[in-house]
């Protein structure tokens, strides 16, 4: 019989390292395997059983899935360092109205109307879009962790105050929440090892054997007068 294993998927920009370290501290005998997955394929990873859980970005199609939102990221615009807005502390979508703003196919921000002027073509990935920003083709609005992931020395980024924000969530199949899944939920929610749902199940302890009755001398001391049926002491002859 093989040892149990927990497979965790994660999308670009999400860093599960702190939770993985806690997992290894609490369950040193249970391997945790990390699986990088494109944002568009994250939900399918757990639906198809290729992973036990996945750290993904909302919104996604949550049919058949549980999802616990974990945190919300700041949205930023990636610009060349010599761009006019680079000197600002923050910008609004209106400040980008006259610039070409790239909208990659793997974008996870829930735009009703993306800001700026549309590019002739949509880049395939965020990484491709960053290269185009560096080439002076346009700007890019992304969650801050993706700006950090694709950081370049010739680019900078600053917050966009009125852009949609990306929420990172832990998701897993609805049909079953395993013991290992409960363990990982407890870790990402910050439960301590001593909390009821956050600690490994304790091995059953053997039941204590019932104590044997003590000697009759405990109940009837030697030399004590015996009593008759009505409770009166019997006279000794």
C-alpha to C-alpha distance for 133 and 163, rounded to whole angstroms? 19
Block residue for tokens 């369950």:
27
Predicted confidence at residue 204, as pLDDT, reads 44
pLDDT at 94 over 90: yes
Residues 10 and 59 in one domain: yes
C-alpha to C-alpha distance for 73 and 57, rounded to whole angstroms? 10
CATH of the domain at 60: 3.40.190.10
The residue from 164, 196, 211 where one domain ends is 164
Does residue 20 form part of some domain?
yes
- Which domain range does residue 66 map to? 6-72+167-188
Residues 93 and 150 in one domain: yes
Ranking 93-102, 109-118, 211-220 by mean pLDDT, the lowest is 211-220
Residues 36 and 84 in one domain: no
Residues 186-217 have pLDDT tens digits of: 999 988 776 645 444 444 455 555 555 554 44
Name the average pLDDT for the chain: 86
């Amino acid at each position: 019989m093989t040892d149990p294993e927990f497979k965790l998927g994660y999308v670009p920009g999400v860093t599960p390292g702190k939770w993985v370290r806690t997992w290894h501290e609490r369950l040193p005998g249970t391997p945790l395997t990390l699986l990088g997955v494109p944002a568009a394929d994250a939900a399918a990873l757990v639906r198809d059983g290729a992973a036990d859980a996945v750290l993904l970005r909302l919104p996604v199609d949550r049919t058949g899935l549980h999802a616990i939102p974990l945190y919300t990221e700041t949205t930023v615009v990636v610009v060349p360092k010599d761009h006019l807005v680079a000197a600002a502390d923050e910008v609004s979508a209106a400040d980008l109205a006259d610039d070409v703003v790239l909208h990659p196919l793997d974008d996870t921000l829930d735009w009703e109307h993306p800001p700026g002027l549309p590019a002739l073509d949509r880049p395939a990935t965020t990484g491709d879009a960053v290269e185009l920003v560096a080439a002076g083709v346009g700007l890019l609005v992304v969650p801050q962790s993706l700006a950090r992931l694709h950081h370049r020395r010739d680019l900078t980024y600053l917050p966009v105050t009125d852009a949609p924000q990306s929420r990172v969530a832990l998701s897993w199949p609805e049909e079953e929440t395993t013991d290992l899944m409960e363990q990982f939920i407890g870790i990402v929610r910050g439960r301590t090892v001593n909390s009821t749902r956050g600690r490994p199940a304790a091995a059953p302890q053997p039941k204590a054997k019932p104590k044997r009755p003590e000697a009759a001398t405990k109940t009837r001391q030697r030399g004590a007068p015996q009593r008759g049926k009505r409770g009166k002491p019997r006279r000794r002859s």
